[in-house]
Amino acid sequence: MAVACELCGSAKLDWDDLDLYRFFAFALGSPSQERFDILARPGLKNALTELWQQLGCRGEDPNFVWFADYEEYEATYIALFDVGIPEPPVPLFESAHNKSKPAQEIALENTLFYEALGLKWDSSCAVPDYLITQLEFLAAVHYTLEHAEDTTSGNLARLETDFLDRHALNWVPSASAKLARVAPCNFGPLMTMLATFLQNRREEVNKIGRESANLPVDQVMLPPL
């Protein structure tokens, strides 16, 4: 994973140079030994505190103390996000939190957004409204927007804003609030930072959209995935 290399290769992280969509997709992804080893690095504790402050998260800086070992990390992740009756405490799926529409409609809407950039989700690994799938899509839009001509950036900015409004921001803040109540571990602060980042990013990209030209999205070059 490219973001894993960036996290490993820097003595001091520069959050401004790191795509936070990709960082949160990595940090909140399914447990792996590589993920645990990177997130357990001593230097990441202070870096995450800096990110908390940089994003303007509410409340006191959390004390980022990672899990003692991989087994504890994996078990906590599974108990919070993957297993439960009738569902996990905090499922990482939009349809589990947004009850205003049927799950099939939410999945279809997500898929249509992905297709706007010619992207497809891997049905063998995830569903369209899975948090990591959504973040990876947003990372692709962000990448494309950063490398777009001025004449195409307006529609890309609107694409990103629309997806944030209709999907990511429609459930991540409420999932973050629920997680903060049930999980004092580091997954709670990570979700708080994600929700704050999404809100900040929406304001930033909305400004880009207002300042940019209006051309069809299908004129945009796609990023390598």
Going by pLDDT thresholds of 50, 70 and 90, the confidence category of residue 17 is: confident
- Residue 218 tokens read as 């299908």
Query: What is the share, in percent, of the chain residues with pLDDT greater than 70?
Result: 84
Return phi, psi of residue 210, to 5°. Answer: -70, -30
Tell me the pLDDT tens digit for each residue of 36-88. Answer: 999 999 888 889 999 999 999 988 888 888 899 999 999 999 999 999 888 89
In the chain, the domains with their CATH numbers are 2-219 (1.10.3480)
Query: Which of these, 44, 32, 37, lies nearest to 74 by C-alpha position?
Result: 32
Going by pLDDT thresholds of 50, 70 and 90, the confidence category of residue 213 is: very low
- Residue 85 tokens read as 């009756």
The pLDDT value recorded for residue 111 is 93
State if pTM tops 0.95: no
Cα–Cα dist 72/84, whole Å: 17
Question: 3-state class of 158 per DSSP?
Answer: helix
